[in-house]
Amino acid sequence: MAAAFKNAGHRIMQVYSPNLHNASLLAYHVGADATNELTGINADTDLFIISVKDDVIEQVAQTLAKHQKPMVHTSGSTSIDVLIKYTDKAGVLYPLQTFSKTREVDFINVPLCIEAVNGSMYTDLEQLAATVSNHIYSINSAGRKILHLAAVFACNFPNYLYGVAQQLLADHQMDFNLLRPLILETAQKVQQQVPTSVQTGPAVRNDQTTMAVHLQLLHREPQMQEIYTLLSQGIIKNNIDGHGDK
Amino acid sequence: MAAAFKNAGHRIMQVYSPNLHNASLLAYHVGADATNELTGINADTDLFIISVKDDVIEQVAQTLAKHQKPMVHTSGSTSIDVLIKYTDKAGVLYPLQTFSKTREVDFINVPLCIEAVNGSMYTDLEQLAATVSNHIYSINSAGRKILHLAAVFACNFPNYLYGVAQQLLADHQMDFNLLRPLILETAQKVQQQVPTSVQTGPAVRNDQTTMAVHLQLLHREPQMQEIYTLLSQGIIKNNIDGHGDK
């Protein structure tokens, strides 16, 4: 996000992290100063962006309160209330994307969810957000919690299942490259369509023979059997409820 | 697959389906005849491609046996043995991709898994496969079974979870478009990387607070709670076993 703001012409004044090495890495990348001293932070800024672990957001906000500057956090599962306690210019900028240090994301397509304590703060954040993303949504703290939960189902759990598949292949000396095009196509399909309408596989066909063979293949891994059964039951249930197509 | 063969310059002689309407749709698309009479099928061909439900493959092979032509099936979970019973030119062409009528797939990138009863049949199939795909793998029936199981974890189950996420948003009047870029990026990340090395989310951080909040949000859906718990446990276990990065 820091890189996206910088590329959009904003100036990142300073990057704080308790770990100075981490602060310096990002600071260098965006042409800012680095510090690991929260109490001595440079307050010559228009906005504090608090992007830290959920359970220390409030503590950081409390420390920064004395500067009386607008503050936002970037957390999906944290309410705006932890900031409202300390400033009358509180907001949230929640980018709904999975980030990793090894891969740069094209920020312009990242959905940015905004919440603000009042209309004037909302307008400011909306203008700021529009400089880096084409997909801005107004989502309050309750909605953001649901969204964060949904993101676990849509991102974290599928990635775990990719790993299960990769391990299955590795156990039998097969290459994960076999599955990579399938994984990509599965994600591309739902860019236009609704997931239940493009569900494939043995469960949606209620193909009991194949499912029994699969459970047998997993006989040494009871936890995998349990996952297989539970998710297959979910697919079968969706189909009975009439959401599915085939 | 028929379209891919046609586009590569091969001639599709005839398309059979017990449902003449379905046979005609595909036949029209690839410039072939259509029939719903298996016994009177046109045997003036170099290869029969048997692409039917798993439990009727053998029956179709038996009916076609009298023509003494090479035969392949396209099933992940069916052994080559059901064809070897009826021909000395048996093989398998298994395309590892998810197909839907509403979306054309670029076949050149689809992994094609080949098995054949002998070296000469293998060479023939390999030459044929090379005209439509750049990704040809030699996989025997035992390997193909594992591959098919792995594909369920890598494709069918993630798609089901996309649907769970979409339903969660719909229940709270939020748009699935919020999640679509995240889903795509999650799949794109593992095109170069190994899934366990890019795992994100509360479980891999062992963030018990967030996981408890998520389970509470799902309190009206015990089956979703069970899925959440089981997959989170899997991610935590991976991490303890030292596969994970963060």
Instruction: Please give the ipTM for the structure prediction.
Output: 0.91
CATH top class, domain A2-139: alpha beta
pLDDT > 70 in chain B, percent: 98
Give per-residue pLDDT as tens, B41-86.
Answer: 999 999 999 999 888 999 999 999 999 999 999 999 899 999 999 9
Give per-residue pLDDT as tens, A91-128.
Answer: 999 999 887 777 777 889 899 999 999 999 999 999 99
Give per-residue pLDDT as tens, B186-197.
Answer: 999 999 999 999
- Chain B residues touching A185 at Cβ < 8 A: 97-98, 105, 155
pLDDT at residue A36 above 50?
A: yes
pLDDT at residue A82 above 80?
A: yes
User: Hey, what are B30's tokens?
Assistant: 């690839």
User: Hey, what are A14's tokens?
Assistant: 């300073």
Residue B114 · residue B90 · CB < 8 Å? no
- From the list B98, B168, B200, the residue facing A150 with the nearest CB is B168
Whether B228 contacts chain A with CB within 8 A: yes
Q: Residue with structure tokens 């047998």? A: A216
Give per-residue pLDDT as tens, B13-49.
Answer: 999 999 999 999 999 999 999 999 998 899 999 999 9
- From the list B150, B172, B176, the residue facing A165 with the nearest CB is B150
Whether B166 contacts chain A with CB within 8 A: yes
pLDDT > 90 in chain B, percent: 88
Whether B55 contacts chain A with CB within 8 A: yes
Residue B152 CA to residue A127 CA, distance in Å, equals: 44
Beta bridge partners of A148: none
pLDDT value of position B173: 95
CATH topology classification for A145-240: N-(1-d-carboxylethyl)-l-norvaline Dehydrogenase; domain 2 (1.10.1040)
Binary contact (A198, B137; C-beta < 8 A): no
> Residue B103: closest CA among chain A residues belongs to which residue?
A189
State residue A68 phi and psi, 5-degree precision. 50, 45
pLDDT value of position B241: 81
pLDDT value of position A156: 97
Residue A30 · residue A51 · CB < 8 Å? no
Residue A15 CA to residue A42 CA, distance in Å, equals: 10
- Shortest distance between the Cα of B11 and any Cα of chain A, in A, equals 27
Element holding B166 (H helix, E strand): helix B157-171
Give per-residue pLDDT as tens, A159-176.
Answer: 999 999 999 999 999 999
Residue A116 · residue A153 · CB < 8 Å? no
Binary contact (B163, A230; C-beta < 8 A): no
Residue B77 · residue B54 · CB < 8 Å? yes
Residue B135 · residue A181 · CB < 8 Å? yes
The ranges assigned to domains in chain B are: 2-139, 145-240
Give per-residue pLDDT as tens, B144-180.
Answer: 999 999 999 999 999 999 999 999 999 999 999 999 9
pLDDT value of position B100: 72
Question: Which of B133, B137, B141, B185 to mutate to test binding with chain A, by most A CBs within 10 Å of its CB?
Answer: B185
The pLDDT-based confidence of B132 (bands split at 50, 70, 90) is very high
